[in-house]
Chain A
C-alpha cells in the first residue's frame, strides 16, 4: 500500500540530511508505527508521504502510484490527522468538518456522526476558538476521517488526551483497521504503539535502526528479568535478576530455596527499553 525506498531529504539542499536512506513498506490494512524522539525525522518523512514536502531523492509510492506523478485525486483516499490542531478557530466544529467535506470529490461522512464518535457532539455548534487543547485534537482527528480514508496518517493522535478519550481514539483506529484502512502512526508514545501497531520502525537522526513487530523486537532484543521481594536477615529486600545470566540464575535459585519470597514478577522489556538499547536515546 505504501512503499518508501532510499528516501533522503535535506532542508538545506546539501548533504546535511534530515532523513537518510529510509526504506520501508506498509501492507494494506496494517497499522505501522513510526517511532522516534523529536527531531528524528518522523514528521519530515510523513510530510513527504502526504505531499507537503517535495520528494528530493528516493522513491515513494502510495497505492501503487508514484507520488511524483500522482494526481491530486489520490487525496480522496488519504486522511491526515496533524499533531498541531490546525483548524479554523472562527468556525464551529461542525462548520470546520462541513467545509473540509466539500474539498473532497468522494462521498463523505456525516460531520455530526464524526463529532459524536470523538465526543464533541455537545460542542458541535461552538466556535473552535472556545475548544480546549484536547477538544481541538479530537476535532482534527475527526476531520481526518471525513472522506472515509483507506490510507490514514496519524501524527500523535492521542497527544493531550485523557485516558478515557485515548481509549476511544484507540478503539476508532482499531475499527478502521478492521474495515481495511492502512494506518501510518507517528508517535513517541511507546504504549500506544505497542497496543496498536502491527509493526513499528525506530527512527533516530533521520535513519531507521529497526523495523519489526513489537513482539518480535521484544523477543529479539529484550532481556527476560524477574523482580523478587524476599526476607533476608530479617529485612525485606528487592532484587531484579536476569533469567539468562548464569550468576543471576544461581542467585534466584538460592532465594527460592530459602523459601522467604514475598512477591515475584517476571519483567518483560518494554518497547521503550528496546528503543533505548538500540538507539542509545530516550523518546522525548
Chain B
C-alpha cells in the first residue's frame, strides 16, 4: 500500500510540475466556470411572484404551484422588489377590490398572462384561457444537463490522459527499468498509476457540480458514476501511455481518443432513441446517459446500477482485448 501511495504522490507531484498536465487537469474547471454564465439559474426558468401578505395564505399557496413566491407586507417594498433587474410579477389588492398585477414593464411576454390566468383560476372564473398549464417533467434546462455531464465526462477522460502522460514520462526517462529492479510488483505499479485516474475525477466532479450550482442532485450517484467511468478513462490512459513513445505522439493518440469520446457523447445526446442501440458497445455512451439522468434528477439507483454494470462489463472486455499490449508496453 505504501508503494501505491508513493507512486500516486510522485505522479501527482510530477503532473503539477508539467504545464501540459496542469492544463489538462484544470481545463474542466475552467470550462465549468465558463459554462456557469450560460446556464440559466433555477429562478430564471420558473416564474417568480411577489405577493402582498394581506391577500392571504390561499393566494400564496395557489401561486406557489407555478413558481417561487416572496411575500411583502408593504406595497412600496413589493414595488421596489418588482423594480429589480430580474423578472418578478407583483400581485396586490386592486383598487376596486380583486387583484392587481404589478409589472416593471420589460418582463418576458407571457408573464402578465400567466398571472392573469392564475388569478382567474383563483376566482373560479371561466374566461377564455390565454395560457394553459402543462408539465413535461423538466426541472432544469438542457444546457445545464448536457453542459454539466459533458464537463464531468471531460474531467474523467482528461484525468485518464494524465496517467498516459505519466507513463510516457516513465518510458522516455527509462525509470520503468529502475523500478523494475526494486521489489515493486507490476500490479502495484498499475494500481499506483491508476489512483490519479480515480481521485482527480472525483474531486473535479464535485468542484464542477459546485461551480455549476448543481448541488441539489444526488451526489452519491455522481460519485458512483464518476468512479465507474474512471475505469475506462484509466484504460485509455494506459493505452495512450504504452502506445506513445513521446509526448507528441501521446497528444496525437489523445486526439484520436477524444474523437471516440465525443462521438459517443453526441450520439447519446442527439440520436433518436431507436438508433441509440448502435452505441451500446461504448462505455462512454453509458456514462453519458448516466450522468445526464443524474443531473436531470431522473436517475434511480436501479438505473444507475444498470448503467454501471454496462460500463464495468465493457471496460473489462476492453481491458482483456488490450491486456497484452499494456503489459508488454510497461516492460
Contact = CB atoms under 8 A, between A and B. Distances in A.
B2 interface: yes
Q: Is the interface of B mostly helix, strand, loop or mixed?
A: helix
Interface in A70-105: 72-76, 78, 80, 82, 84, 86-91, 95, 99-100, 102-105
Interface in B157-197: 169, 173-175, 177-185
Contacts of B178: 80, 82, 86-87, 100, 140, 143
Interface in B1-40: 2-3, 6, 10, 13-14, 17-18
A73 B183 contact: yes
A247 interface: no
Interface residues of A, number: 30
A89 B179 CA distance: 15
A161 interface: no
Interface residues of B, number: 21
A50 interface: yes
Contacts of B14: 88, 90-91
A233 interface: no
A88 B10 contact: yes
A244 B179 CA distance: 54
Nearest to B174: A86
Contacts of A180: none
Nearest to B182: A103
Contacts of B169: 88, 90
Contacts of A52: 177, 180-181
Contacts of B3: 102-103
A216 to B, nearest CB: 32
B187 to A, nearest CB: 11
B182 A104 contact: yes
B2 A86 contact: no
Given A72-B185, A75-B181, A99 B173 contact: no
A75 B14 CA distance: 25
A51 interface: yes
A103 B173 contact: no
A75 B183 contact: yes
A90 B170 CA distance: 11
Interface of A: 50-52, 72-76, 78, 80, 82, 84, 86-91, 95, 99-100, 102-105, 127, 140, 143, 147, 153
Given A90-B17, A104-B182, 20 more contacts: A51-B180, A52-B180, A52-B181, A72-B183, A75-B182, A75-B183, A76-B183, A82-B174, A82-B177, A86-B174, A86-B177, A86-B178, A87-B175, A88-B14, A88-B175, A99-B10, A103-B184, A127-B17, A140-B178, A153-B181
Which 7 A/B pairs are nearest by Cβ-Cβ distance? A103-B182, A86-B174, A102-B6, A80-B181, A90-B17, A72-B183, A75-B183
